[in-house]
């Protein structure tokens, strides 16, 4: 299977209902794009749709036999119309032709697709596709208004040149536009009401006014988690060390430099967030004293000694909170005995979850765009295999939310 950078529809079960219009040919691409994003697809075709694209094509791209007849005994024993109606997380009718829209608006159940519509409680969206005159017909407009009143999203149609030669409104939206609309539908608000406090990036520990101790953390992993959670409607506060990244949309970003500053800000906010994710690469030590002036080289001194003192452990301090302690997630960047160190840290710091990554591997870790994580929690573990940090961010938010709700 092709992997996109973002499995935004991971595990989502989508019924793609194809009506009999010329835009049906776009459904092969649409299906492929949905699968690339992690969706499971079942294709249902009307009788007329089969004239525009073959069930064999749709079977090949969706990986499953196409369901095309209400009374097809063979197909019905595999998954009947009631089962498929219950299976669906989402139903998209594309192209929704004038005829299909009319039959559904009238509440008919005279083929497999209309029956599934009646039997499902999943959201059903329509992507109209038809000749511009048919679209503008009063009957069609009234039927679409009926579907709208029932709360169905109506996506499109677009305007432009039509297969029949006409120019006007009636073109089905392009596959990528429909995919984006489905993605938005799912990521809209399912985490609204949830709040996350996330630390990201490195810290800088001042040696003198111009020098500091730091590390190679890019902040990309923490920013990806912040973006994924925010996109799903969560309230996100991001406490960020110095990084070169844009602030994700709708995220409240608080910039800090040192571990000390990060600690203060986290303490201010931890009690009013439900989940704390410590993704920052906090410097364990800082110079014991910061020189007021730039330190000078001295003739005859080939060595200097820098005395370091321990920084506060921000993660451990949150995990030790007694009042309003958030669900606490830590990271463990290790170069050896990853599981051993991660499990020790989980227990020692009293965490709910630890995300271990093996930074001895070149293609993952601090400054890379990719990552793989091994998650450990008190009674389980899970590997998130190598993928972009954006993708890992989405998967990780999903896992955190399941554990937070006690579903694992
Ligand atoms: O113990 P270690 O530094 O390996 O732990 C890493 C985890 O602890 C990360 O989640 C990091 O953000 C957090 N941490 C912290 N404050 C420190 C050191 C690490 O919050 N001073």
pLDDT per residue as tens digits for the range 135-160: 999 999 999 999 988 778 899 999 88
Pocket test for ligand 1, best of 265, 315, 336 (most atoms within 8 A of CB): 315
In a domain, 4, yes or no: no
pLDDT confidence of residue 185 = 79
Q: Is the CB of 200 under 6 A from ligand 1?
A: no
**Boundary residue ending a domain (185, 218, 247):** 185
2 pLDDT tier (thresholds 50, 70, 90) = very low
Q: Is the CB of 282 under 6 A from ligand 1?
A: yes
For residues 155 and 213, state if they share a domain.
no
Q: Which residue has the higher pLDDT, 386 or 263?
A: 263
For residue 295, how many other CB atoms are within 10 A of its CB?
14
**Boundary residue ending a domain (165, 185, 205):** 185
For residues 153 and 199, state if they share a domain.
no
For residues 96 and 223, state if they share a domain.
no
CA distance 364 to 387: 9
* DSSP labels, 322-343: SSSPPEEEEEEEESS-HHHHHH
Query: What Å distances lie between residue 158 and 23, 81, 155, 172, CA to CA?
Result: 12, 31, 9, 6
The CATH number assigned to the domain holding 64 equals 3.40.50.1950
Quote the domain boundaries for residue 117.
13-185
In a domain, 371, yes or no: yes
Catalytic residue among 27, 164, 279, 366: 164
The CATH number assigned to the domain holding 238 equals 3.40.50.10300
In a domain, 190, yes or no: no
For residues 22 and 162, state if they share a domain.
yes
In a domain, 400, yes or no: yes
Is the distance from CB of 194 to CB of 235 less than 8 angstroms? yes
pLDDT confidence of residue 232 = 87
Number of domains into which the chain is organized: 2
384 pLDDT tier (thresholds 50, 70, 90) = confident
For residues 68 and 172, state if they share a domain.
yes
pLDDT confidence of residue 110 = 92
Q: Is the CB of 311 under 6 A from ligand 1?
A: yes
Please compute the mean of the pLDDT values over residues 184-206 and round it to a whole number. 88
CA distance 120 to 272: 39
- DSSP, collapsed to helix, strand or coil, labels residue 187 as helix
Q: Is the CB of 342 under 6 A from ligand 1?
A: no
Which atom from ligand 1 is nearest to the alpha carbon of 310? 21
Alpha-helix runs per DSSP H in 150-236 = 175-187, 220-231
Residue 216 CA to ligand 1 center (angstroms) comes to 15
Q: Is the CB of 331 under 6 A from ligand 1?
A: yes
Which residues on neighbouring strands pair with residue 42, listed in sequence order? Answer: 15
Mean pLDDT of the chain: 91
For residues 173 and 212, state if they share a domain.
no
Which atom from ligand 1 is nearest to the alpha carbon of 317? 20
pLDDT confidence of residue 209 = 95
**Boundary residue ending a domain (185, 204, 228):** 185
Q: Which residue has the higher pLDDT, 1 or 158?
A: 158
231 known ligand binder: no
Query: Which residue's alpha carbon is nearest to atom 21 within ligand 1?
Result: 313
In a domain, 3, yes or no: no
Q: Is 164 a catalytic residue?
A: yes
pLDDT per residue over 16-41, tens digit each? Answer: 999 999 999 999 999 999 999 999 99
pLDDT per residue over 256-311, tens digit each? Answer: 999 999 999 999 999 999 999 999 999 999 999 988 999 988 888 899 899 999 99
For residues 211 and 79, state if they share a domain.
no
pLDDT per residue over 321-362, tens digit each? Answer: 999 999 999 999 888 899 999 999 999 999 999 999 888 776
pLDDT confidence of residue 78 = 57
For residues 216 and 325, state if they share a domain.
yes
For residues 210 and 167, state if they share a domain.
no
5 pLDDT tier (thresholds 50, 70, 90) = very low
For residues 140 and 28, state if they share a domain.
yes
For residues 282 and 161, state if they share a domain.
no
């Amino acid at each position: 299977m092709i992997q996109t950078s973002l499995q935004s529809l991971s595990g989502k079960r989508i019924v793609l209902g194809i009506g009999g219009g010329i835009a049906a040919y776009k459904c092969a691409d649409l299906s492929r794009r949905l699968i690339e994003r992690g969706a499971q697809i079942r294709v249902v075709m009307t009788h007329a749709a089969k004239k525009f694209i073959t069930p064999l094509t749709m079977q090949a791209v969706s990986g499953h036999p196409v369901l095309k007849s209400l009374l097809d005994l063979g197909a019905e024993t595999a998954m009947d119309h009631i089962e498929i109606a219950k299976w669906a997380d989402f139903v998209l009718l594309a192209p929704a032709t004038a005829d299909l829209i009319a039959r559904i608006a009238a509440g008919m159940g005279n083929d497999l697709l209309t029956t599934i519509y009646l039997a499902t409680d999943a959201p059903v969206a329509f992507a109209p596709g038809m000749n511009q005159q048919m679209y503008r017909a009063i009957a069609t407009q009234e039927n679409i208004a009926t579907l709208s009143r029932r709360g169905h999203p109506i996506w499109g149609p677009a305007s432009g040149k039509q297969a029949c030669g006409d120019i006007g409104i009636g073109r089905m939206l392009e596959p990528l536009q429909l995919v984006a609309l489905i993605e938005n539908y799912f990521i809209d608000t399912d985490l609204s009401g949830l709040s996350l406090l996330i630390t990201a990036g490195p810290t800088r520990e001042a040696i003198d006014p111009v020098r500091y101790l730091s590390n190679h953390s890019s902040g990309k992993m923490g920013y990806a988690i912040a973006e994924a959670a925010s996109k799903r409607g969560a309230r996100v506060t991001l406490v960020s060390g110095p990084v070169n990244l844009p602030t994700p949309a709708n995220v409240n970003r608080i910039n800090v430099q040192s571990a000390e500053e990060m600690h203060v800000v986290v303490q201010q906010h931890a009690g009013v967030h439900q989940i704390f994710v410590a993704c920052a690469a906090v410097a364990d030590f800082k110079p014991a004293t910061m020189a007021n002036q730039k330190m000078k080289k001295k003739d005859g001194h080939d060595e200097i000694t820098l005395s370091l003192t321990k920084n506060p452990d921000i993660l451990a301090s949150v995990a030790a909170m007694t009042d309003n302690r958030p669900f606490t997630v830590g990271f463990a960047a290790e170069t050896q005995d990853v599981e051993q160190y991660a499990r020790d840290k989980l227990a020692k710091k009293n965490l709910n979850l630890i995300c271990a990554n093996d930074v001895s591997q070149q293609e993952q870790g601090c400054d890379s765009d990719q990552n793989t994580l091994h998650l450990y929690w008190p009674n389980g573990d899970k590997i998130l295999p190598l993928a972009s940090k954006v993708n890992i961010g989405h998967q990780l938010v999903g896992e955190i939310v399941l554990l937070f709700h006690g579903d694992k």
